[in-house]
Structure 1
Amino acid sequence: MNELSKTENQPAKIPSQTSLVPIALAVNKMPNLLTKKPVLIIMTLLIGNILYWNRGLITNHPISIASENKTETSARILPVETIAIKPVSSYQVSRVYTGEVTAGRTTELGFERRGKLTQILAEEGDFVKKNQALAYLDTGNLQNTLRQLTFQREGEVAKLQEMEAGPRSQTIGAAHAAVKDLAEQLELARTKNIRRQKLYEEGAISREQLDEISNEFNVLKARLEEAKNKLDELLSGTRVERIVGQRALIKELDTRIADVNLNIAKSILKAPFNSRISVRRVDEGSVISPGESILRLVEMENLEVRIGLPTATAYRLHQGSHQKLTIADKTYRAKVESILPEVDSSTRTTTVVLKLQTNPQAQVAVGQIARLELTETIRESGYWLPVTSLVKSVRGLWSCYVLVETPGQSNASDQNKRFAVKQEDVEVLYVQGDKMLVRGTLQPNDLVISKGNHRFVPGQLVRQSKTSK
């Protein structure tokens, strides 16, 4: 037994090159020797000799292989980085909505009357102020009409003044003299008529001569009555009705003059508000029709942004609240001016009108895209996992690998603990950058492999190298 023990503990002997030479020669000559029976005996003896000299290898090699396998198995337990998951009851979603910058007021400016365009004082891109003259129409015919009406009015005003002042004293005196003269002529005619009557009765004159003097008397009597009436009219002054009629005629002329002046004023195109010339559509010399657009004006002082939002999101904004808008990579402050009451039939969104609080002018142009970012809190329970911790599963689900501690390691250190990989199916609720919110059979504080999942399979032993929180 002692010898055997010593033999087993002795190191394995390796055959020398001299002892292997017969084996090589035998192998080379094997085709010739196989035809002879003694060759089998010699081969048996050679194999036995080799086994004898290598009995140490036969007895010691299994122990060496087991040791090497154990070391190799230990080296194959891969280290993993994990994350200790924490449950959340809600998450915030940041959504960006786009809209368009619009002008507070925009107008297609044109004349109200027909005429020839004589001058334009503004060019595209110019800033103009309220009531600034921008263009002119020819007003030659209107000026002539105005002068004619002005002269006519002056004549009618003079007549009215004469009526209101009454007749002159000289006119009244002449009327008195005419009445007196006619009275004397009538008295003379009466005397002649009496004389002729007596002569007719005596037969000294004919009936015709009597009728002539009688007719003359009647004519003078009528003329005297007319002169007296004219004198009474002069003494009473002009009738009120004539004065009223004359005044009405003057007012009519005033109205016609005002209409001409209004047309002259409408021949000057003025800016209705502070704005900027966007488009110039015609040039001088063109004959303009009423309402034809000459210039397009855009108000730059009160720019607005119209953004379509889901109805529920729109009504979460309060009118008068302030928001931040991004336009051409610049941030502007805006105020919620109004929320329109109707839903857009094409986009099914509610339009929110925001007024820019700053005065960007040259920095912002009408028609630019504006972006509004809103953050919404969603009530949903789950766990945040890095994107690198998930692998595709079946039926549209995703999976992650969770570490499960193997039994019998209560006294092992954290670095020496061995874990088994367990697959857990999860449902992705929301993706935010490089992380996802998921729900499934996970439990709080589970250790989830954070990356490199392609290297593992369920049931594989791993060891923990680093844990993130």
Structure 2
Amino acid sequence: MNAPVPAPKQRSVWNARSIALIAFLLTTGTLLSIALGPGVLGIDPAPADDGSSETATPRLHVRVAQARSIEGPELFHRYRGEVVARRDSSLAMRRGGRLTEVSVHEGDMVAKGDVLARIDVADLDAAAASADAEIAAAKAALDEAIAGPRSQTIRVAEANAQQLQAQWTASKNRFERQQSLRERGAGTQQELDDAKFATDALAANHLAAMASLDELKEGTRREQIAAAKARLQFANAARQRVEVDLSDSLIVAPFDGVIATRLFDEGSIIGPNQPVLRILEAPPVHATFGIPADVSDFLKVNDRLRVSVGEAGAEQSQPARVIRMQPQINPVTRLRLIEVELVNNHSASKLESASKSSLDTESIGWIGKTATLWVPWSKTET
């Protein structure tokens, strides 16, 4: 008898190949599922049909996922800079002296016009009193010159002129009698001379009295009124000089801000123009950055950017506005300096006073810290 065909062995060979192919497809599907997401590709091997050919291949079930776009991350140019106060001033007095009051300390918030420090002004108080007296005297003299002489003064002058005229008439008669006696040889030459001199003196006095009377009747001359006005102006100028010295004897806050440094205490003797306090302007604060020319060429004043303070990233950044740009490139660093103003996220009108004060304090604490400027790639052609 003939030997049987070893069909089971051939089928086992094909089954091994099928199993290897199925394992390969399962591995590929698993990797695609991991890469493209679950449920994108599935493999469903079908078992071989009992009555079919021995070389049946596995079937694959494919599910289609709908394609959609995803937004890519926004990319930034990043540059380091420093947070600065918009204005930073050292405050001093033009006069020197002994400090009698320093009313603020480091960290105190002040408003524009607040008096922050004073020096002793006892000498200026005395000078002010003297100047006030000079003004009063000069004003009284001017008023008198404008009003002219009083009627009583004019009447006194008239009486004096009349008296001198009577004395002159009597002296003239006496002289005439002495002259007649001398002609007859009864009188002496000395008596005649005395009578003549007395008559001439009374005549001169009478003319002077009449001139004074005419001057009083005409009133004060314009030149005298002008001189009185000049004396009053001089007295007023002296008083204004005292006021200037008084204003130079105290320190007034030039703007709203916070006291950064207090250099002297009460009782210290300071010289003219010697700094006593340092003040930083209240928010908004600024930040400065050095930007390469190929990036800064695409920026302009009032552009809106983002700035983060310290080690914060772009997600914790604050809105900022470009307020000025240096026109030239630094020849050493090849950078252009730009300055931005950090803008508050909330409108001031929507903030209560307490929360606004806390925000101001926080932003003031940023001064001196490192800042990062985030410039979107979309603003440049890089």
Give the alignment's TM-score, normalised by structure 2.
0.73
Given residue 251 of structure 1, which amino acid in structure 2 is its aligned partner? Q
Instruction: Tell me the distance in 2 between the aligned counterparts of 1:287 and 1:199.
Output: 90
Which of 128, 131, 139 is the aligned partner of 2:110?
A: 128
* Residue 366 of structure 1: aligned partner: 367
Instruction: Tell me the distance in 2 between the aligned counterparts of 1:237 and 1:133.
Output: 52
What is the CA-CA distance between 1:219 and the residue it aligns to? 1.1
Residue 212 in 1 paired to residue 194 in 2? Answer: yes
More displaced stretch, 191-200 vs 130-139: 191-200
* Residue 42 of structure 1: aligned partner: none
Residue 332 in 1 paired to residue 315 in 2? Answer: no
Residue 145 in 1 paired to residue 146 in 2? Answer: no
Note the 1:35-434 alignment, pairs <5 A: 94-328=76-310, 329=312, 330-358=316-344, 360-364=359-363, 365-376=366-377
Instruction: Tell me the distance in 1 between the aligned counterparts of 2:381 and 2:93.
Output: 60
What is the CA-CA distance between 1:300 and the residue it aligns to? 2.6
Given residue 362 of structure 1, which amino acid in structure 2 is its aligned partner? T
What is the CA-CA distance between 1:361 and the residue it aligns to? 2.6
Instruction: Tell me the distance in 2 between the aligned counterparts of 1:339 and 1:196.
Output: 108
Given residue 176 of structure 2, which amino acid in structure 1 is its aligned partner? I
What is the CA-CA distance between 1:94 and the residue it aligns to? 3.8
1:196–1:293: structure 2 CA closer, same or farther, 3 Å change rule? same
Instruction: Tell me the distance in 2 between the aligned counterparts of 1:104 and 1:186.
Output: 89
Contact 2:138 2:235 (C-alpha < 8 Å) held by counterparts: no
Given residue 319 of structure 2, which amino acid in structure 1 is its aligned partner? R
Deviations 1:142-195 (A, max 9, x none): 000110111122122222222222222222112212222222222222222222
- Between Structure 1 and Structure 2, the one with more strand by share is 1
Given residue 351 of structure 1, which amino acid in structure 2 is its aligned partner? L
Instruction: Tell me the distance in 1 between the aligned counterparts of 2:74 and 2:142.
Output: 86
Contact 2:286 2:340 (C-alpha < 8 Å) held by counterparts: yes
Instruction: Tell me the distance in 2 between the aligned counterparts of 1:145 and 1:162.
Output: 26
Given residue 220 of structure 1, which amino acid in structure 2 is its aligned partner? L
1:101–1:130: structure 2 CA closer, same or farther, 3 Å change rule? same
Instruction: Tell me the distance in 2 between the aligned counterparts of 1:248 and 1:117.
Output: 37
1:318–1:217: structure 2 CA closer, same or farther, 3 Å change rule? closer
Deviations 1:94-120 (A, max 9, x none): 432111111111101111211211111
What is the CA-CA distance between 1:255 and the residue it aligns to? 0.7
Instruction: Tell me the distance in 2 between the aligned counterparts of 1:297 and 1:157.
Output: 44
Instruction: Tell me the distance in 2 between the aligned counterparts of 1:92 and 1:157.
Output: 78
Report runs of 4+ in structure 1 exceeding 6 Å deviation: 79-83, 377-380
Given residue 263 of structure 2, which amino acid in structure 1 is its aligned partner? R
What is the CA-CA distance between 1:129 and the residue it aligns to? 0.6
Q: Alignment partner of 1:326: what SS?
A: strand
What is the CA-CA distance between 1:92 and the residue it aligns to? 8.6
Given residue 361 of structure 2, which amino acid in structure 1 is its aligned partner? A
Unmatched 5+ residue regions in structure 2?
4-20, 36-72, 345-355
Deviations 1:266-308 (A, max 9, x none): 2221110010011111111111222211111111312111111
Aligned residues: 304
Instruction: Tell me the distance in 1 between the aligned counterparts of 2:100 and 2:225.
Output: 44
Deviations 1:369-413 (A, max 9, x none): 111233437999xxxxxxxxxxxxxxxxxxxxxxxxxxxxxxxxx
What is the CA-CA distance between 1:317 and the residue it aligns to? 1.9
Q: Alignment partner of 1:112: what SS?
A: coil
Instruction: Tell me the distance in 1 between the aligned counterparts of 2:92 and 2:74.
Output: 52
Kindly name which structure, 1 or 2, has the bigger radius of gyration based on alpha carbons.
1
1:379–1:158: structure 2 CA closer, same or farther, 3 Å change rule? closer
What is the CA-CA distance between 1:226 and the residue it aligns to? 1.0
More displaced stretch, 97-106 vs 190-199: 190-199
Instruction: Tell me the distance in 2 between the aligned counterparts of 1:351 and 1:92.
Output: 25
Instruction: Tell me the distance in 2 between the aligned counterparts of 1:288 and 1:235.
Output: 60
Given residue 111 of structure 1, which amino acid in structure 2 is its aligned partner? M
Given residue 114 of structure 1, which amino acid in structure 2 is its aligned partner? G
Contact 2:306 2:375 (C-alpha < 8 Å) held by counterparts: no
More displaced stretch, 177-186 vs 253-262: 177-186
1:379–1:185: structure 2 CA closer, same or farther, 3 Å change rule? closer
Instruction: Tell me the distance in 2 between the aligned counterparts of 1:326 and 1:207.
Output: 120
Contact 2:301 2:323 (C-alpha < 8 Å) held by counterparts: yes
Given residue 325 of structure 2, which amino acid in structure 1 is its aligned partner? I
Instruction: Tell me the distance in 1 between the aligned counterparts of 2:291 and 2:280.
Output: 26
Given residue 119 of structure 1, which amino acid in structure 2 is its aligned partner? E
* Residue 70 of structure 2: aligned partner: none
Contact 2:261 2:278 (C-alpha < 8 Å) held by counterparts: yes
Instruction: Tell me the distance in 2 between the aligned counterparts of 1:96 and 1:183.
Output: 107
CA RMSD across the alignment: 2.9
Give the alignment's TM-score, normalised by structure 1.
0.60
Instruction: Tell me the distance in 2 between the aligned counterparts of 1:314 and 1:146.
Output: 58
